[in-house]
Structure 1
Amino acid sequence: MKRNKPSPVFESSATQDFDYVDSQESLETLIDELLLEERIAVDTEFHREKTYYPSVALVQIAHSKGISLVDPLKVEPEVFAKLFDSDILIVMHAAGQDLEVFQHICGVVPRHLFDTQIAAGFIGMSTPSLANLYEKQLGIKVKKESRLTDWLARPLSDSQLEYAANDVRYLLEVHEKITKQLVNYGRETWVEAECTLLLEKERGRREPEHAWKKIKEGRNLNGKALNNIRALAAWREIKASNLNIPVRYVFPDLALVGIAQQEPTDIESLENVRGVESRHLKGPFPGEIFLALKNAKKLDPLPKVIKRGKDTTNDLRAGVTLVSAWIAQAARQLELDPAMLGTRSDIEALVRGDPDARMGSGWRHQIVGEPVKELLQGRAALAFDADGGLVLERREKR
């Protein structure tokens, strides 16, 4: 399907045409006005290098009357909850971390979200940056030199304010243009489903009982050591949250895995664990570590993972390779970002027949579910067409 070509690229020369909101009264007036809108574009600037939670420094909003930059250092941002817990469509780009910001500062995420980066994957763009999206869709180049500046410093410079405003300046126009293309492709519901999944993922972010899954070496443990790392990682996550410091500042992964394996019972044995530093031996940390190891013995066992034999593994590898090749071509033909259609892990889950395989339901299943099933059951085969591409051919019954 043909897409309209963007206009010739030009440099954005936008001046400071925005409102700077730095009083509670002004913010509440703005929120009341925004509640009358059908859609708004939202972005944030934040830092999190030395904190567990993101430290929000600015909130940018584009709406029908212009652009508003809200200074969260001067106002109480909890009032954003009224905005997000409404029927307004919130347009964001690469919303993951911004959602975490709002979950922290006002306790909610939007009820209705349109992520332009996700949507771009459904019209053939591969997870574009915002600057790339502006250029490809609108032919506009924006300046990006203020991206890594100190956003918590005050006053913000003119270049910082212009950069921040540009992050939302054209988002509503991009949303409108992409939506038209999605309608032409018949993929609006696909984007809606993916944005809903993103919101659900954010609501379940940082659950302490799942923190051990983020420790690479921890996922390879078994027996008592596995229960230990589960309890230790949960303790570290809660501790970091309470202190608002990165989890690595509490205990590094290396030390946590060593403790899980060695099960120290006193300060001396704890000190001998690789990765444990003298600062870890002061204050309440040692006692809390020993308590976590004690609590590990009370954890319910994890669901058993079915181990597959060598032959099954080889069969799986062959099936995954075959399906991956076909899915990659299907994505190209459909002008989809291949990663959006399915990662290798998704393909493995589908080939294994996992009941919760991401490609086994929803819009992904509509595209690949039944064809892959026929391919794996031998009712279809892959062949090369005249142009060297892959085609799925049904096999005649014998």
Structure 2
Amino acid sequence: MSAAQGPCAGAITLYRNDLPDGLRFTGSVAVDTETMGLNPHRDRLCLVQLSSGDGTAHLVQLIPPSLGGTGYACPNLKRVLADPTLTKIMHYARFDVRILQHALGITVSPVVCTKIAARLVRTFTDRHGLAALCRDLLGVDLSKQQQSSDWGTPELKPEQLAYAASDVLYLHALWHRLSALLERENRRDLAQACYEFLPTRARLDMMGYEDPDIFSHRA
């Protein structure tokens, strides 16, 4: 199967600065982010990807005022991400929740994380990355060639948009498979407790309690 192709591959819509007024999500929405780096104190949030699981990816490019945009003034996007009735499906939610809460000044909840779910039920392997999970559970090969590209450029390349979209287009299907495994292994409640802690874990990370971790035994 070719890269980033499969039963969920579909349309990509790019918005600049915010979601349009009329766009609504119900039930759940897959969410991912692209940033200039891994340090939220230094590296800005550049792109937020969303999908309702219908094969369409909605990409919001957050452009700073210095480049002619409105920065993090994105009320429609913030409303979606902070909606307490809308479950946000993420992969490695610890990072995405942290950068979204820091940049946008909101609490991102409720959240489920496919990486946490995979680690709880796929204890027979250390392959818990998104590409590995999509290949193993969905039979989909994702290309990661654009993972370290420049997301801060004002004009994103088609290859970047395709890569960014692939990170959300398969999350609903992946969550469906992992949710069934959590149920089978009687670990759904444990997973839920982990998900509910994620906004607090993100706050601790931002305050510098990531290393050393206050939950570790290290003095």
Task: State the TM-score bracket (shorter-chain normalisation).
Answer: 0.7 to 0.9
Equivalent residue runs for 1:153-192 within 5 Å: 153-192=153-192
Which residue of the partner structure matches residue 106 of structure 1? Answer: 104
Equivalent residue runs for 1:241-320 within 5 Å: none
For the pair 1:58 / 2:50, whether they are aligned, the reply is: no
Q: Is the 8 A contact 1:92 1:114 kept in 2?
A: yes
CA distance in 1, matches of 2:83, 2:181: 28
Change (3 A) 1:41 1:18: same
Q: Which runs of 5+ in 2 are unaligned?
A: 64-68
Which residue of the partner structure matches residue 29 of structure 1? Answer: 22
CA distance in 2, matches of 1:110, 1:23: 19
Match of 2:74 among 77, 83, 101: 77
CA distance in 1, matches of 2:122, 2:201: 24
Q: Is the 8 A contact 1:42 1:62 kept in 2?
A: yes
CA distance in 2, matches of 1:145, 1:169: 17
Change (3 A) 1:200 1:141: same
Equivalent residue runs for 1:106-125 within 5 Å: 106-125=104-123
What is the DSSP-based 3-state SS (H/G/I as helix, E as strand, rest coil) of the residue aligned with 2:45?
A: strand
Higher relative contact order (Cα pairs below 8 Å, separated by 6+ residues):
2
Which residue of the partner structure matches residue 68 of structure 1? Answer: 58
Which residue of the partner structure matches residue 66 of structure 2? Answer: none
CA distance in 2, matches of 1:17, 1:70: 14
State the 1:50 CA deviation. Answer: 8.0
State the 1:143 CA deviation. Answer: 0.8
Larger Rg belongs to: 1
CA distance in 2, matches of 1:109, 1:54: 20
Match of 1:92 among 90, 93, 98: 90
CA distance in 2, matches of 1:101, 1:77: 15
Which residue of the partner structure matches residue 133 of structure 1? Answer: 133
Q: Is the 8 A contact 1:43 1:167 kept in 2?
A: yes
CA distance in 1, matches of 2:27, 2:10: 25
CA distance in 1, matches of 2:117, 2:40: 31
The amino acid that maps onto 1:59 is: V
TM-score (normalised: structure 1): 0.47
State the 1:67 CA deviation. Answer: 1.2
CA distance in 1, matches of 2:156, 2:4: 20
State the 1:23 CA deviation. Answer: 5.3
Change (3 A) 1:50 1:59: closer
Q: Is the 8 A contact 1:93 1:115 kept in 2?
A: yes
Measured on the aligned residues, the alpha-carbon RMSD in Å equals: 2.8
The amino acid that maps onto 2:58 is: S
Change (3 A) 1:41 1:132: same
Query: Greater share of helix residues, 1 or 2?
Result: 1
What is the DSSP-based 3-state SS (H/G/I as helix, E as strand, rest coil) of the residue aligned with 2:128?
A: coil
CA distance in 1, matches of 2:3, 2:39: 35
State the 1:127 CA deviation. Answer: 6.0
Change (3 A) 1:54 1:135: same
State the 1:85 CA deviation. Answer: 3.4
Q: Is the 8 A contact 1:77 1:105 kept in 2?
A: no
What is the DSSP-based 3-state SS (H/G/I as helix, E as strand, rest coil) of the residue aligned with 1:149?
A: coil
Equivalent residue runs for 1:206-225 within 5 Å: 206-207=206-207, 214=212
CA distance in 2, matches of 1:137, 1:49: 28
Aligned residues with identical type, % of pairs = 23
What is the DSSP-based 3-state SS (H/G/I as helix, E as strand, rest coil) of the residue aligned with 2:182?
A: helix
Q: Is the 8 A contact 2:32 2:90 kept in 1?
A: yes
Which residue of the partner structure matches residue 271 of structure 1? Answer: none
State the 1:41 CA deviation. Answer: 0.4
TM-score (normalised: structure 2): 0.81
CA distance in 2, matches of 1:50, 1:64: 29
Match of 1:13 among 5, 19, 33: 5
Change (3 A) 1:50 1:43: closer
What is the DSSP-based 3-state SS (H/G/I as helix, E as strand, rest coil) of the residue aligned with 2:206?
A: coil
The amino acid that maps onto 2:153 is: A
What is the DSSP-based 3-state SS (H/G/I as helix, E as strand, rest coil) of the residue aligned with 2:150?
A: coil
